[in-house]
Amino acid sequence: MVSTEQFDLSGKVALVTGGNGGIGRGIALGLAGAGAAVAIMGRNEDKNQSVLAELEAIGGTAMALVVDVTARDTLPDAVQAVANELGDIDILVNNAGRAHISGGILKETPEDWDAIIDNQLNSVFMLSKIVAESMAARNFGKIINIGSMYSIFGSSLVPSYSAAKGGVIQLTKSMAVELAEYNIQVNAILPGWISTDMTTDIEASEMGDVIVARTPAARWGRADEFAGPVVFLASSASDFITGASLRVDGGYSIA
């Protein structure tokens, strides 16, 4: 039987990377609203503190860490800091990331390539590896990775981003297969076009209107529309779902 209690995340500890930004903030507030204690990670202390205040206003326990997810040597200590303050992580949302519009592989430098793969894909591997160890020991875990429409589509403008996001769904499937025996579910969410700092310029340009015309829902998505999908994938309501990629795109990818 389904009950709303299934979506109650009280007693659970969540870590949201990039939780101080657009989609990550929407996810962090959603998880806190469902009762989880939430840690956010980002590089910018001011943005961290602003979202931390919003999380605390919801009433639960929260913390914010200034961490660069590409600084891999710092990640074990950061995860330990969350465990010390909030408890072992039950829900990991790998959301942090940036795009670099290089204009295609003829223009993209090897340095740009490495930086985006590091930022968007290697960070997911590193943090999942660290957090999954304690999840496996406790026989419980939910890992949710944020991909993109470019996990599926090719792109002439952002090849490293598209390659990294494609890698995210393959890594999601591989982790789902491996970690199932430890009762850890690993799923991906693929956002369509969402209004955030990352997309402000695109939305304001002519392309913003082209995107609306191309999207069956006929609008851009909002960051707060990721709360529901993530709470679902973090809850017991999705215990038999693993390795899936859930598109949150207003139908963009199927039209």
Where do contacts with ligand NDP occur on this chain (CB under 6 A)? Answer: 17-18, 20-24, 41-44, 47, 67-70, 95-99, 119, 146, 148, 191, 193-194, 196-199
Closer by beta carbon to ligand NDP, 193 or else 232 = 193
Minimum separation from the CB atom of position 121 to ligand NDP (A):
10
Please check whether residue 66 is in contact with residue 124, taking contact to mean a CB–CB distance below 8 angstroms. Answer: no
Closer by beta carbon to ligand NDP, 8 or else 38 = 38
- State the burial class of residue 89 (Cβ atoms within 10 Å of its Cβ: 0-12, 13-18, 19+): buried
3-state SS, residue 19: coil
Q: What are phi and psi of 98, to 5 degrees?
A: -135, 160
C-alpha dihedral sign at 73, 49, 187, 88? positive
Please check whether residue 227 is in contact with residue 19, taking contact to mean a CB–CB distance below 8 angstroms. Answer: no
Q: What are phi and psi of 96, to 5 degrees?
A: -55, 140
Minimum separation from the CB atom of position 246 to ligand NDP (A):
13
Please check whether residue 35 is in contact with residue 12, taking contact to mean a CB–CB distance below 8 angstroms. Answer: yes
Minimum separation from the CB atom of position 241 to ligand NDP (A):
20
Closer by beta carbon to ligand NDP, 23 or else 36 = 23
Residue nearest to ligand NDP (CB): 21
Minimum separation from the CB atom of position 183 to ligand NDP (A):
26
Closer by beta carbon to ligand NDP, 26 or else 60 = 26
Which residue, 164, 144, 163, 179, is CA-closest to 17? 144
Catalytic status, residue 161: yes
The residues carrying an active-site annotation are: 161
